[in-house]
Chains A and B, each alone.
Chain A
Amino acid sequence: MAAAGPSVFLLMVNGQVESAQFPEYDDLYCKYCFVYGQDWAPTAGLEEGISQITSKSQDARRALVWNFPIDVTFKSTNPYGWPQIVLSVYGPDVFGNDVVRGYGAVHVPLSPGRHKKTIPMFVPESTSKLQKFTSWFMGRRPEYTDPKVVAQGEGREVTRVRSQGFVTLLFNVVTKDMRKLGYDTGPLDTHGISGPSPPQGLPR
């Protein structure tokens, strides 16, 4: 089998959850996890992680920097179900309760190389004003039963969300054997014409 060529391709993702912009909140930490299809399997590294708590920087940027490393390798037989990273950010509210500050997800970049992604984050909204108040008061905001929900499209129509903040991620993507298996995710070629043969009547 091995002689016949690879039967899986590998996707190595490393990088980091760099920083976040949550203008209203401070002292946040984030969790990440990967969501991937059935044909995917992690072979090395951590597919879940929880970061330290970070406070806002004192400069004008007000950045919340985690620099939380990600390093995971997947193997797969099918690009369908390409891994997505799901981020959920938590932090204390005014009463000190730990509440969710944002969910977000993004696909791991398809093409190898270095990619910087900024994901807008959102949180589910309370179903009513009263709910909103009580949830604020009791520090029990609505949350997703499973953060992985944000990586799937099914059933999202029943939810309402509000956007808040951004998280910046840095990915370094390395793939192996993808092209051998017929999947070309390289940088986009100049679209349209690939070169015609050199013209015959060309004098120079």
Chain B
Amino acid sequence: MKSKEEKVKIITKEFVGEGEDAEEERQKKPSKVPRPKRKKQLPAAGCEEMVSENSPVDDQQEPVQEASDTRLLGVTSRRGPRSLPPIPSASRTGFAEFSMRERMREKLQAARSKAESALLQDIPTPRPRRLRSPTEKESETEFGTELAREVQRTQQEHDSQGYSRVKFHDSVRKIKSKPPVPPGFPSAEEAYNFFTFNFDPEPEESEEKPKAKNRHGANQEEKEGEEEEPPVQEGVSKTGEEEWLDGKEAEDLLLGLDHAAEDFVAVRPAEYESVHVRLQKEKELLFVPSRRTVPTYKKLPENVQPRYLEDEGLYIGARPEVPRINQNIMENRLLTQEPGRRWFGDDGRILALPNPIKPVPSRPPTWTREQDVKAELETQYKKAVKYIHRSQHLIGSGDSPGNFQLDIDISGLIFTHHPCFSREHVLAAKLAQLYDQYLARRQRNKAKFLTDKLHALRNAVQVGLNPAKTPKTLETTPKTINEYKSEIRQTRKLRDAEEEKDRTLLKTIIKVWKEMKSLREFQRFTNTPLKLVLRKEKVDQKADEEAYEAEIQAEINELLEEHTEEYEQKMEVYRVTQQQWKAWKKAQRAKKKKKKQEVEEHSANEEREQPGPGEEPEKPAPPEPVDRAVIEQQVREKAAQSRRRPGEPTLIPELSLAGSVTPNDQCPRVEVMRREDVKRRSLFLKVTFNNKEVSRTESRPLGADFRVHFGQIFNLQIFNWPESLTLQIYETAGHSGTTLLAEVFLPIPETTVVSGRAPIEEVEFSSNQHVTLDHEGVGSGVPFSFEADGSNQLILMTSGKVSNSVAWAIGENGIPLIPPLSQQNIGFRSALKRADAISSIGTSGLTDMKKLAKWAAESKLDPNDPSNGPLMQLISVATSGESYIPGFFRLEQLQQEFNFVSDEELNRSKRFRLLLLRSQEVPEFRHYKQIPLYDREIMERVFQDYEKRLRDRNVIETKDHIDTHRATVAKCLQQVRESVINRFLIAKHHFLLSDLIVEEEVPNISILGLSLFKLAEQKRPLRPRRKGRKKVTAQNLSDGDIKLLVNIIRAYDIPVRKPTASKFHQTSRSSRTFAEKHAASPTTHSPAHSADYPLGQVSVRPFVEVSFQRTICHTTTAEGPNPSWNEELELPFRAPNGDYSTTSLQSVKDDVFINIFDEVLYDVLEDDRERGSGIHTRIERHWLGCVKIPFSTIYFQARIDGTFKIDIPPVLLGYSKEQSVMMERGFDSVRSLSEGSYITLFITLEPQLVPGESVREKFDSQEDEKLLQATEKFRAECTLKFPTRQCLTTVVDISGKTVFVTRYLKPLNPPQELLNAYPNNPQATAELVARYVSLIPFLPDTVSFAGVCDLWSTSDQFLDLLAGDEEEHAVLLCNYFLSMGKKAWLVTGNAIPEGPTAYVLTQEQSHYLIWNPCSGHFYGQFDTFCPLKSVSCLIGPDNFSGFPLHMPYSEMKPLIEAVYSTGVHNIDAPNVEFALAVYVHPYPKNVLSVWIYVASLIRNR
């Protein structure tokens, strides 16, 4: 309580702004404060008072006084709040500022709480109690009855106002006691004050008044209250609802004190939760755990000592690290919970698992790939696959739907050991095995064979030794005899070994049989029906003995011979060494003698010392002579050991199953159990093919003799070559599961092995299983012994033999159902790997027969040995028939297997052929799209062109050409082109980095400098220059992407109309006049013309029409002979076949025709009366001239900018040149050389295309290597000095070889006719020659040999071909000039529009002339309009136009094109007629000049 009060006080003090320092004031203030407060509290107070009505009514005043006393005397702190300025005044009257009001309210609140606390405090103290009994009562009621009913907050408020209520209490009681007197007067009065008074602005006043009131005392207060009742009423009425409520309550409680209830002003504060209340409530709800360490005993159950597991030696992992404070907080928190202790372990700490964090840093899985966890969980969609025979995979398409068949015959199974074998069985098996061996040996009878051989050899030796019988083999005899003898020795040894083996085997058989017999006796029952009978074969004792003796003797003799031979050899050696030794000895002796003479006494010592050094060779011992007796003894001993004794009967064992097996009831239990066990067992085999089970045999019981008979034949229908064929042997014992005993791998039969011929083979198997049985069965893989003492342990594993046969089946028609050989090799690599490498490629077995034969000869294979039979046969075949052995080595022997289809198939199929041709980039098919799938969909005519071309390669077709020569030339050119294109195609597949990657150049200093300089440049220069544009590689372009931009700027010296020729000029209506211009020229060169011009008459109205690829654009019409258009025309460009590759762009042969027309207007009105209302004119265009520029030039130049001479036909009807205008300009002297009209053009492509690179291939040369190097060096130097200049030293001739350019230039006589034409005028002759040369058709290299560098043909070739480009023309012209005695040079350089080109320069008397070889024009060295180009046509006069077209003849097509370009047919005038005349002028060497006259005739009125 105390602390709370303190807190409240502090808060109050904070709120109380002003009253803290002035104690006085505070003491006075309260008297005033309660009043307003009281007023506000009235209803509440009233209620309370009413409630506490039963409280003593006496000393009404007293308490008040007391209260005031106490207040005055007592605790200042309590009074503090009451010194507040009256709050209600603010809230009620509303004349104070809002902030003020708020502050008041806060203060009031504080005051209330204060008061309440004060009251509460008062309760225990008796004295104050007495003083404030009413208060006490009140508080009692409050805490007692009211508490239950009223909201606590209200109660608290009331509480807090306890003190003020004390006062009210009195007044209320007064009201009650004296009804006439309205209760609560003082408060009413105060309320009045409250309402009427403005306390805040005048605090002094407000203070004054309360002081006064205080002085008046309580009585006064009462009066005041009475007096001021009405205002209170008013106040009450203002606060309607509250009052009513309170009043009602009051009614309930106060026994009809309506009056009072009405009187009380019910004022209630806004609901507010004070801070401390909130805190308290929070305290109830919230809990702040302490941070202090919790003592251990708190955490453990009572009377339990903490137990530390770690100390007891138990492992406790490291706990995760948690700060101590956090732990404390957690512990505290847990302890407050109900079952808090269960969180703690025995040691009083919070239970914790060991730290899960690994101390070793590890990398989290990377997220770079998308394969996150979900990828593994993701459901994979897999289409259900219907099972189909995929035979087409395995068998070549189109083959018979052959199912191949493999017959597997499984006849049975015999165990050579089985866990259920009894000991007897083991022996029986052994016996049977041995007997089998014996039988096999007897069948082979090697010993007999070897014996025979020995006899034969001996005979041979005998024969050989007798020279009389074989005289011819005299010289070879010793050698052969020696060979025979050595062979005899070998054979004897072998025979002895074999005989010994036979004998041992027999012995072993008998021994085993004996063992078995003893075993049977021992165990007293018989398990196996096995019975061995030894049959004795009597032999003729005498003969046998003789043979035996003879054999021994022979052997002895041989051995003796051998030994003697050996002895001889040894003797020889001995003799030699003996001699040496003797010689040495002699020498020694001589030495000794010398020494003896010198020092005799020392001789003894000497002799001893001499041999000391050990140089003395041992004295050779003579070899022992051969002792016949010894040898004989040896031989006999051996014979006794290994051979049947003479006279002894031959023993032949015979094994039979005749024995009887002891029945079960006579056998001991263990044996019965064993037999039962055997009976329970059954076996079956699984046949697996390529590791897949394909079938299985029936399950057959294991017989008592451990044989299983199956006798089943499986016909495996297979589709693919078998890789493996396995039999799996399964054993079922009773009802327990099956066990895999063993796997038997069967060999895949040779293709020759077919059903019916296959022998039954026995394939052994063995298992490594360990079986121990609890009966007589010996088990498998476990040791057992036959001996009683357990010695001689044996370990036998389950093993056996499967008899089977595998063969290829034979089909109905007798053909073996064997997969074809090719199939074996194609998809089955693994099979090949396993099989013999050689046999896999088709030949089975060894290939090198020669080597085989050699080996057979060296190893001395016995040709008579039956086992060598097949081999010997092979060898004999191989060695005899030499042709059988391939004398070659096959390269890529597997190639055929990899062939997609056979060549015939490839040729037969149209589709394959088409694909092949396309991939070879044959021009006709290079861009063939969507080759059809089936042959039948490919039209035959697809190939027609191609085939025709192939056929025509050598046939000269004359149909398309006028004369055969042309055809030949065209063909030749075509062939050259083809070969060059092929070369180019190869080169095209060589890529450079720049072909693939666009990379910015590293800016060098100059570029940087330029760019810096550019900064200072004018932003908008007056004369802007054309800027370079980014080049585009022509790869990803399509139709319409490329546009040809033709900028027509101006023209000079356009021919003007002859006024005399046209009477229509009068009708032509043109507003502008040429007169000013014309008049401006003072002197007229041709006065006749000027005279003819009527003033205001336009001489010409030219416009330009550009046609390209049959698209036509034209400019507006300008006027006068020197028009200026400055117009840009845009023409679309279409590449052939939509192929925008560099190659195809280079081969575009289209030309851009720039035609100049004169626009002539005709008035077509026939009636002058209509002239006022309308104008009817017909526009005629008259062709004036043309400029032709090949597209290839534009493409390679990227832009063409310059002034060109317009080709004006020689005859232009109705027009004349108006030459006077420019005369005064000063260069007329120069111009006189090149008269004509000129047009200034700028042509480019949008976007700019990157021209194709020339082939980067180096062509080989036949020139001298040194010279080539020298020229290369020179060229490099030139390039260094003048990087922009094109220095030409070597060129490529027509056969693709590099030659020096100088080789082309040599004087060449021009045709005599030309020279004879103007015998006296060399200049005219020269012009004629030039004209002649220019008449040879022009064919740019770039067109014919797309993208390839220039090919230069010699003049001879040029004249033969009659086609060529600038170089050829220039070379020819130059050669002619040279022969004419002129000094002539070939000039290479850049010209417009040709680009890099060749001209001819001739030196005349005083000046140089530049000849354009292609046009025949020549220019002076100072000619400004030098670069020009030709091919011409012509336009006629106005009414009667006819165009003479003149061009060198090459083919029909360009002519047609040229005529078309003039647009003469584009006349829409009615009744137009056309006329055509062609004149061809022949020149020598088939050079033709063609004149075409086209006329359109319009009937003139």
Contacts and interface: CB of A to CB of B under 8 A. Distances in A.
Interface string A154-172: 1111110000001010000
B929 to A, nearest CB: 5
Interface residues of A, number: 64
A126 B1001 CA distance: 10
Contacts, number: 167
A45 interface: no
A58 interface: no
A202 B991 contact: no
A99 B996 CA distance: 17
B995 to A, nearest CB: 6
A19 B371 CA distance: 13
B996 A159 contact: yes
Chain A contact residues, majority secondary structure:
loop
A163 to B, nearest CB: 12
B390 A143 contact: no
Nearest to B994: A145
Contact of A113 (B371, B383, B717, B937): B383
B1025 interface: no
Interface stretch (B154-162, B695-703, B1201-1209, B1288-1296): B695-703
Interface stretch (B111-119, B306-314, B707-715, B1129-1137): B707-715
Given A77-B930, A199-B714, 9 more contacts: A7-B932, A78-B915, A124-B999, A155-B991, A155-B996, A196-B717, A196-B719, A199-B715, A203-B696
Given A1-B937, A145-B996, A200 B715 contact: yes
A180 to B, nearest CB: 10
15 contacts: A4-B934, A38-B931, A127-B999, A135-B1000, A140-B1000, A142-B1000, A145-B995, A148-B1036, A158-B995, A159-B997, A166-B368, A168-B370, A181-B933, A197-B716, A200-B715
Interface string B982-994: 0000000101110
Interface string A162-204: 0000101000000000000100001101001111111111110
A199 B993 contact: no
Nearest to A20: B370
Interface string B388-414: 011101100000000100000000000
A144 B931 CA distance: 30
A98 to B, nearest CB: 14
B1000 A39 contact: no
A25 B753 CA distance: 70
Contacts of B692: 193
A201 B697 contact: yes
A62 B928 CA distance: 46
Chain B contact residues, majority secondary structure:
loop
A154 B991 contact: yes
A39 B927 CA distance: 10
Interface of B: 367-371, 381-383, 385, 387, 389-391, 393-394, 403, 687, 689-690, 692, 694-699, 712-720, 723, 915, 918, 927-934, 936-937, 989, 991-993, 995-1000, 1002-1003, 1033, 1035-1036
A134 B1003 CA distance: 8
Closest A-B pairs by Cβ, 8 of them? A199-B695, A155-B991, A197-B717, A142-B999, A140-B1000, A194-B390, A77-B933, A201-B712
B367 A186 contact: no
A199 B696 contact: yes
Contact of B930 (A41, A61, A200): A41
B996 A61 contact: no
B720 A192 contact: yes
Given A39-B931, A76-B930, A154-B989, A199 B996 contact: no
Contacts of B699: 203
Contacts of B718: 193, 196
Interface of A: 1, 4, 7-8, 19, 21, 23, 38-41, 60-62, 76-78, 80, 112-114, 116, 118, 124, 126-128, 130-131, 134-135, 138, 140, 142-146, 148-149, 154-159, 166, 168, 181, 186-187, 189, 192-203
A149 B993 contact: no
A114 B381 contact: yes
Contact of A124 (B697, B915, B932, B997): B997
B221 to A, nearest CB: 75
B383 A7 contact: no
Contacts of B698: 201, 203
Contacts of A200: 695, 713-715
Contacts of A62: 367
Nearest to B367: A61
Given A78-B933, A124-B997, A158-B992, A60 B716 contact: no
A82 to B, nearest CB: 14
A149 B690 contact: no
A134 B1007 CA distance: 14
A197 to B, nearest CB: 4
B997 A38 contact: no
Given A127-B999, A187-B385, A38 B927 contact: yes
A118 B367 CA distance: 13
B369 A195 contact: no
A116 B690 CA distance: 34
B817 to A, nearest CB: 12
B683 to A, nearest CB: 13
A138 B403 CA distance: 71
Given A61-B367, A155-B996, A192-B690, A38 B929 contact: yes
Contacts of A38: 918, 927-931
Give the one of A40, A118, A186, A196 with max B CB within 10 A: A196
Given A38-B928, A118-B369, A187 B382 contact: yes
Give the one of B383, B687, B1002 with max A CB within 10 A: B1002
Contacts of B1035: 145-146
B369 A166 contact: yes
B719 A194 contact: yes
Nearest to B929: A38
A148 B715 CA distance: 56
Given A130-B1002, A194-B390, A196-B719, A166 B370 contact: yes
Contacts of B697: 201
Contacts of A199: 687, 694-696, 714-716
Nearest to A60: B367
A78 to B, nearest CB: 6
B383 A158 contact: no
Given A39-B931, A158-B991, A158-B996, A145 B385 contact: no
A23 B390 CA distance: 47
A117 B466 CA distance: 93
A78 B1003 CA distance: 48
B915 to A, nearest CB: 7
Contacts of B998: 142-145
Given A39-B931, A134-B1003, A112 B383 contact: yes
A144 B385 contact: no
Contact of A156 (B385, B719, B933, B996): B996
Nearest to A128: B1002
A151 B932 CA distance: 24
Given A8-B933, A145-B1035, A194-B394, A138 B1000 contact: yes
A145 B390 CA distance: 46
Nearest to B684: A203
A7 B389 contact: no
A23 to B, nearest CB: 7
A61 B997 CA distance: 33
B1141 to A, nearest CB: 12
B843 to A, nearest CB: 26
A187 B992 CA distance: 41
Give the one of A40, A155, A192 with max B CB within 10 A: A192
A159 B995 CA distance: 10
Nearest to B1250: A145
A19 B695 contact: no
B933 A7 contact: yes
A203 B929 CA distance: 58
B528 to A, nearest CB: 31
A167 to B, nearest CB: 10
